[in-house]
A and B are shown apart, each in its own frame.
Chain A
Amino acid sequence: MSKKADFVKFDKVDKSYDGKVLVVKDLNLDIEEGEFVTMLGPSGSGKTTCLMMLAGFETPTNGEIFLDNNPISNIPPHKRGIGMVFQNYALFPHMTVFENLAFPLKVRKMSQEDIEKKVDKALSMVSLGGFANRMPGQLSGGQQQRVAVARALVFDPAVVLMDEPLGALDKNLRESMQYEIKHIHESIGVTVVYVTHDQGEALTMSNRIAVFNDGKVQQLSSPDKLYEEPVNSFVAEFIGENNTFGGEVSEISNGTCKVKLEKGEIIANPISVKSVGEKTTVSIRPERALINPKDKMDNNQKGKIEEVIYHGDHTRVRLNLLGNSEFILKVPNSSQNLDIKLGNEINIGWNSHDARALDPK
């Protein structure tokens, strides 16, 4: 069975609540069958609205959403067959775990025998085999979350939506749940649309990530591409850490450009600049800049150490470099004895390929 590339399709979707402000602007998004797509963005960026439109709790102001090629804007939520995991779990507090899981099956008029079989299977999938007769209130946050996931999957929906499902859990539990959800997704191959504002979560779990800002998808690509090759300065800024220089393109030629800063000049990789004179923001990941590089690098600058913060496995060094006093370096904690001391001047080098000249901020 070939997988459909546009199993879920947002086609020119706009959404406004008050007729004045567009919360979602011209959204076009194709989600492949069996894919794990994360909508990532700051709060108010429209990602939850998109999810709610897909679930059927909000209607698009313009455009259409297709599920398996069928337009679904006029189908009420209970007929869409989309499973959903809510931020606060939304388990029915007056029902046992078993009854919670049996609920979607009962409303589908399944036989008692089938219901028991399916619930058992779903519970063992989230390793909560012996918990069928507990009430949700007797479970820990992580267990409740697993029940919520099992409930969203128990009726074999084509798509499962997750709205910041791990937001209420503590850090360690959140990480282990990330892997658990990822493994469940891999083993049953359901299409998952996941909403979060936690970039670490998005990078860990997703096949593809849609970065939302201001009602628009800024970039839709795989986690590694998103991190390595952000297409604009918002994405670069939002995903991971980032050193930036604001300047003006002074020279551009096949594959490289020179950017003139207030103090000095750097060589960069022109991503969204085309001609001389354009304003740009150059983005460099902290780990791509090295101290006293052995290899020849086309950018070499001197910086003064302003702050040293010990982080266990690495040390963060804040430098004043080319007038940017917020330039961060990550130095791995190896036995290598570098001269990292407050106030020292050190040599910093990076490749022009890693310095991406993006749109100005």
Chain B
Amino acid sequence: MSSETGKILTTDGIPLEESLKQAEKKNKIKAFLLVAPLLLFLIITYMIPIGDMFSRSIDDKMVTNMLPKTYKAMENWDGKELPPEEVFEAFYLDYKILVKNKTAGKLQTQLNYEKNGFKSVLKKLARKQKKFEEGNYKEQIMKVHKRWRNVEYWRAIKRRAPSYTYSKYLKGVDMYSNEDGKIVQVSEDRRIHRILWIRTVEVAFFVTLFCFLMAYPIAHLLATLPMKYSNLLMICVLLPFWTSLLVRTASWMILLQQQGIVNDFFVWTGLVADDNRPEMMYNKTGTYVAMTQILLPFMVLPLYSVMKTISPSLMRAGKSLGATPAVAFFKVYFPLTIPGIGAGCLLVFILAIGYYITPALVGGASGTLISNQIAYHMKSTLDWSFASAMGLMLLTGVLAIYWIYNKLVGVDNIKLG
């Protein structure tokens, strides 16, 4: 065959490759049409929102669009000393329009993010600018507030000139670029996000661990019990799965609160004194308990599906070859369940790291996670670009975990069901 360079022909003399393509074409089109709705759905509900999130998170056009003349005039300003007269004039003209349109508030907020105390300065200017005379705006503006003489404030305006910024991402890890353009950490008492990130990873890690420790024996039992019992047990495992998440979380609130059933039980058994009931809710304990219970099925199912395929004769073989039950378990059974462990842990960890409702309801202040912070910025501060940035950071983190996992275990070894 190797010496034959000519194409292989079909019986009718058409090149084989072409003939094959022709024959497959119809099937390919059919297959594509079948997946097309799903593809479209994914693009609309998944790809576009992520793209939108990304553009939102780096979008900084608002200030740029509000001060067009200023930024044009600032192009030649090196930022070392106070800007020249034309910058002042341009800023006055831009600001005047904003005040007239009643949109100056947005600018004040945005510039205040950049430089603390900018808001009051701008507010004062908004009041005074009505009486400004034509010409020599530099003098007039500087007269309104002495901070206008401080070059820092002008630099703050200039920093917002580009229409794209990564400052939201820096803010997400408690950093910012200071007046000199250097990236530094925010002062210690304001580092809230880093704590949240660490807590999120910590909670996700421990929830995964607890889920694993509890799910492994359950899954093993499920896989080895006779059918009639294992079906019943399977229903018990899946029952919470079919119950609304809110209902489950709410029931945990009833169970865990200080006057709740669990505490009553502890008091009744004399484990704790009545006046010293432990707080099990609105803190990390509540988050751990509720999340572990809710995510347990995600660990049980992949483990079960893997364990079901492990022949019981393997353990017997191990024992008959002289291994104690413990050795047989760790050398024979356990390694064979690793694909299930991998799938379960990955699933639970990824779900836990972005968990929202449960920590929001039972987490309290010390049990809230990064997703609650994202929701807070979406709903309360309306800083959508920051929420988007944090959402994307979370997504990147999840992808990174997936990548590391793939390097360590190999995605092919995952068995999801």
CA A104 – CA B335 in complex, angstroms?
17
Q: Which residues, 21 to 67 on A, are CB-close (under 8 Å) to B? A: 55-57
Closest CB-CB distance, A164 to chain B, in whole Å? Answer: 12
A108 touches B313 (CB 8 A): no
Which candidate, A90-98, A172-180, A192-200, A318-326, is the interface stretch facing chain B? A90-98
A107 touches B313 (CB 8 A): no
CB within 8 Å: A-B pair count: 67
Which candidate, A75-83, A246-254, A255-263, A302-310, is the interface stretch facing chain B? A75-83
- A108 and B322 contact, Cβ closer than 8 Å, known pairs A92-B332, A93-B336: yes
Q: Which residues, 318 to 372 on B, are CB-close (under 8 Å) to A? A: 318-325, 327-328, 331-332, 335-336
CA A87 – CA B316 in complex, angstroms?
12
B321 touches A94 (CB 8 A): no
Could you say which of A76, A88, A103, A161 contacts B311, with CB atoms under 8 Å apart? A88
Contacts of A146 in B (CB 8 A): none
Contacts of A76 in B (CB 8 A): 319, 325
Q: Which residue of A lies closest to B335 (CB)?
A: A94
A84: Cβ under 8 A from any B Cβ: yes
A86: Cβ under 8 A from any B Cβ: yes
Contacts of B311 in A (CB 8 A): 88, 90
Could you say which of A81, A87, A94 contacts B313, with CB atoms under 8 Å apart? A87
B33: Cβ under 8 A from any A Cβ: no
B328 touches A78 (CB 8 A): yes
Contacts of B314 in A (CB 8 A): 90, 92
CA A83 – CA B321 in complex, angstroms?
6
B317 touches A90 (CB 8 A): yes
CA A155 – CA B335 in complex, angstroms?
23
- A104 and B336 contact, Cβ closer than 8 Å, known pairs A84-B316, A92-B314: no
Could you say which of A56, A78, A80, A90 contacts B323, with CB atoms under 8 Å apart? A78
Contacts of B328 in A (CB 8 A): 78
Closest CB-CB distance, B371 to chain A, in whole Å? Answer: 38
Could you say which of A84, A88, A91, A94 contacts B320, with CB atoms under 8 Å apart? A84
Contacts of A77 in B (CB 8 A): 316, 319-320
Contact with A along B288-329 (1 / 0, CB 8 A): 000000000000000000000001011011111111110110
Contacts of B336 in A (CB 8 A): 93-94
CA A91 – CA B323 in complex, angstroms?
14
B313 touches A90 (CB 8 A): yes
CA A349 – CA B31 in complex, angstroms?
72
Q: Which residue of B lies closest to A148 (CB)?
A: B317
Contacts of B316 in A (CB 8 A): 55, 57, 77, 84, 86, 90
CA A129 – CA B40 in complex, angstroms?
57
CA A87 – CA B327 in complex, angstroms?
23
Total chain A interface residues with beta-carbon distance under 8 A = 28
Interface extent on B, as a size class? 10 to 19
- A88 and B318 contact, Cβ closer than 8 Å, known pairs A78-B324, A107-B323: no
Q: Which residues, 144 to 185 on A, are CB-close (under 8 Å) to B? A: 151-152, 155, 161
Closest CB-CB distance, B188 to chain A, in whole Å? Answer: 50
CA A56 – CA B325 in complex, angstroms?
13
Contacts of A57 in B (CB 8 A): 316, 319
Closest CB-CB distance, A253 to chain B, in whole Å? Answer: 55
Max chain A CB contacts within 10 Å: which of B317, B321, B324, B336?
B321
Q: Which residue of A lies closest to B324 (CB)?
A: A78
Q: Which residue of B lies closest to A161 (CB)?
A: B320
Contacts of B335 in A (CB 8 A): 94
Contacts of B321 in A (CB 8 A): 78, 83-84, 103-104, 107, 151-152, 155
Q: Which residue of B lies closest to A83 (CB)?
A: B320
Closest CB-CB distance, B377 to chain A, in whole Å? Answer: 47
Could you say which of A87, A94, A103 contacts B318, with CB atoms under 8 Å apart? A103
Contacts of B320 in A (CB 8 A): 55-56, 77-78, 80, 82-84, 152, 161
CA A77 – CA B313 in complex, angstroms?
13
Contacts of A152 in B (CB 8 A): 320-321
Contacts of B325 in A (CB 8 A): 76, 78
Contacts of A81 in B (CB 8 A): 322
Closest CB-CB distance, A104 to chain B, in whole Å? Answer: 4
CA A81 – CA B319 in complex, angstroms?
10
Contacts of B318 in A (CB 8 A): 92, 103
- A84 and B322 contact, Cβ closer than 8 Å, known pairs A92-B332, A94-B335: no
Contact with B along A263-307 (1 / 0, CB 8 A): 000000000000000000000000000000000000000000000
A104 touches B313 (CB 8 A): no
CA A266 – CA B376 in complex, angstroms?
101
A155 touches B317 (CB 8 A): no
Contacts of B323 in A (CB 8 A): 78, 103-104, 107
Q: Which residue of B lies closest to A79 (CB)?
A: B322
B322 touches A107 (CB 8 A): yes
- A104 and B332 contact, Cβ closer than 8 Å, known pairs A88-B311, A90-B313, A92-B317: no
A86 touches B322 (CB 8 A): no
Max chain B CB contacts within 10 Å: which of A56, A104, A151?
A104
Closest CB-CB distance, B216 to chain A, in whole Å? Answer: 18
Q: Can you list 11 A-B pairs with a CB-CB distance of less than 8 A?
A: A56-B320, A57-B316, A77-B319, A78-B319, A78-B328, A81-B322, A84-B321, A86-B313, A103-B321, A104-B322, A152-B320
Instruction: Point out residues on B near A: beta carbons under 8 Å.
Output: 311, 313-314, 316-325, 327-328, 331-332, 335-336
With A56-B320, A78-B321, A107-B321 known, 10 other A-B pairs at CB within 8 A are A55-B316, A57-B319, A78-B319, A78-B325, A80-B320, A82-B320, A90-B314, A104-B322, A104-B323, A161-B320
Instruction: Point out residues on A near B: beta carbons under 8 Å.
Output: 55-57, 76-84, 86-88, 90-94, 103-104, 107-108, 151-152, 155, 161
Query: 5 tightest CB-CB pairs across the interface, nearest first?
Result: A104-B321, A90-B317, A84-B320, A90-B313, A77-B319
